[in-house]
Structure 1
Amino acid sequence: MSKLATYRRSPIALIVLLFLGLTFTGTAYAALQPTAPADAYSASNASEDVDDVEEGRKLFLANCASCHGKNAEGNGTAGPSLAGVGAAAVDFQVGTGRMPLAAPGVQAPANPNQVNFSQQEIDQLAAFVASLGPGPDVPDEEYTDLENADIANGGMIFRTNCAMCHNSSAQGGALTRGKFAPDLMGVEPSHMYSAMLTGPQSMPVFNDATITPQEKENVIAFIVNIEEGGNSFGGHDLGSIGPAGDAVFIWTIGIGLLIGAAVWLGRKAA
């Protein structure tokens, strides 16, 4: 018993206890740390097609490196690092004509007529960027075909998370410092899904823990339904810009007609 007490009083005992405590803590953290869903992120470098990555690197050096750096490490204020942005960011930015950026500005506007790459080349660029680090992957077609979408649920989610910027009818709206939330009419479902995953520019990121893949499909179906005229239950949509359009109609047409009727009746009475 006295021998055990001697060991306890030894200076080495404290070091041993600290070592055991750190070992236990590290083991517990490694075993219990949360892991991202497997379908939410790009595969590792080993799983990328080597040929696509190499072709994507060539396209990147020729078209993107002047702003983002030869190794996509970023170039000060000209272009951010692309490590970890994932294939979805490339598919959205390049597929909508936002990149390569035509000119510096507070925001990169969509320019579908200036998409300078084929879909195969966009996929190759995406493969190269995805090889730089794990990030959101291009959405699965299962969630962009809109076959199993719930439009009503999508409308509820859209009004809760998106309408304050994009307008309740997805027609876009002004933000601060010259920025704006773009009109969502005519946008490809895959690009809307990628935007939710990556949060381009002023948009927040809606990962799969915030809005599930099925809910994202529901939101996209709601927007497509508006585009197809599903939001005009009362007649003419008046531009689908919300209460402002109704107010302009009332004041310019409705009040004008009432004033005209009052003047006409006054003249008849005279």
Structure 2
Amino acid sequence: MLLKVTKIKSGYGKVSILHGVDFNVLPGQIITVLGPNGAGKSTLMKAIAGQLPVSSGTIEFSGTLTNGLSAQEVNKLGIGYVPQEQNVFAELTVMENMKVAAMPFKDAGSRVDRVMDHFPILKERAAQMASTLSGGERQTLAISAALVAEPKVLLLDEPTAGLAPIFVDRIIEWITELASEGMAVVWVVEQDPEKILTVSQMTCFIEGGRSTAWLESEILLEPGRLQQMLLEDKKCSK
């Protein structure tokens, strides 16, 4: 098991959001995370990434307990995280964003070069301010900056929300390629999940701060099955 989350509880200050989530990820898997608004999906990603404290339960990565580690320490272990918003430094150029992401590593320059070589669009925009990028370009930069750390698990929180279909397709193709090379990807999605379900192996439903169901993603592509599961989650959350 690459990532094992066992009955974790977490939240913001005295406000508890997660009430006992179980979550497992194998190398090369794409895991889709679904659930209603406010279910705790983003909170789960932040807790795994070390950005929120875990009050109880455990998170293990490659056999190492990550409870209590800082976000930077978790990142250096091999867990990358791309939040839905504020995921780039808008006041910096594309290249400066990449260099900031590489700062914790001794071979920073070569790491940036490897990622930039893989994405010509970033090379073309290297001197451009991140604030002037299109939505799709900005998400490409955010994911690329996370890849500088060469993570074994990549956590994505709604990376295609509001993007044009062409960018959605490109990011899905890109993530599928990364997974085929052995990287595990955990993908939170709320809008139009069908495209992501076609490339993911398993889907976890989060409702009321708990993991309520684990299903093979292909099952959810059966007519009416996804709507049925989402409706059941809504009923449970009332």
Q: What TM-score does the superposition give when structure 2 sets the normalisation length?
A: 0.29
Q: What TM-score does the superposition give when structure 1 sets the normalisation length?
A: 0.27
Structure with greater strand percent: 2
The answer to which structure, 1 or 2, has the higher relative contact order (CA under 8 A, 6+ apart) is 2
Which has the larger Rg?
Answer: 1
